[in-house]
Amino acid sequence: MPPSTRENGAAVLVAYASEHGSTREIAARIAGRLTRAGHRADARPVDGAVDPDPGRYDAVVVGSAVHNQQWMPEASGYVRRHRAELGNRPVWLFSVGMSAALGRPLRSLASHHEPKNMPALRDEIHPVGTCLFSGAVRRGDLPPAGHAAFKAMGGHYGDYRDWDRIEAWADEIAHRLPEAQAA
């Protein structure tokens, strides 16, 4: 897909790394909102087998599930591999963790705790914005030690995705795209 002219909206890549599907569904929702706002958005996995070319898009959103307080290596590797292209177009980053699933007071602490590799990613590509969402946490997703740690933190399994917040973030991107492209 060639980059767009301003009149027909921006071409936006929503690239994501997801282990159990909740980040994939968030990426699809973000792409849907961007499309609805008049842009052309593709949600694509970055799972090693697929390596979408950011150079073919006007702007890029990259998202990753958080594992062990880090972005998945597929997503951080994607950003590093494409840092030149990502560094010279508007980019937004989102992370999907489990802060909303935790008991108080950890919940509010964790909701402000960005993944450990986010400062390095930010330095590499200077994103326009970043956001941390909660995803879905299911019993079968965590290994036994992870389950024990989750329970020790007062965790409850469930789907904690706040679709209103996710859509509002996507709508803000849609709104800011023309200005971000011009910058």
Ligand X SMILES: Cc1cc2nc3c(=O)[nH]c(=O)nc-3n(C[C@H](O)[C@H](O)[C@H](O)COP(=O)(O)O)c2cc1C
* Residue 18 makes contact with ligand X by CB under 6 A: yes
ω before 119 within 30° of 0 (cis)? no
Separation between Cα atoms, residue 53 and residue 15, nearest integer Å: 10
* Residue 21 makes contact with ligand X by CB under 6 A: yes
Do the beta carbons of residue 66 and residue 19 sit within 8 Å?
no
Dihedrals phi, psi of 147, to nearest 5 degrees? -60, -45
Separation between Cα atoms, residue 95 and residue 65, nearest integer Å: 6
**Kind and range of the H or E run holding 85:** helix 83-87
Residue 52 or 97 having the CB closest to ligand X = 97
* Residue 166 makes contact with ligand X by CB under 6 A: no
Per CB under 6 A, the list member of 52, 90, 97, 127 interacting with ligand X is 97
Rounded to 5°, angle at Cα 71 from 1 and 167: 60
Per CB under 6 A, the list member of 55, 73, 87, 146 interacting with ligand X is 146
Residue nearest ligand X (C-beta atom): 135
Which span sits near ligand X by CB under 6 A: 33-41, 53-61, 75-83, 136-144? 136-144
Give least dist CB 98 to ligand X, A. 4
* Residue 47 makes contact with ligand X by CB under 6 A: no
- Residue numbers of the site for ligand X (CB under 6 A)? 18-24, 65-69, 96-99, 135-137, 141-142, 146
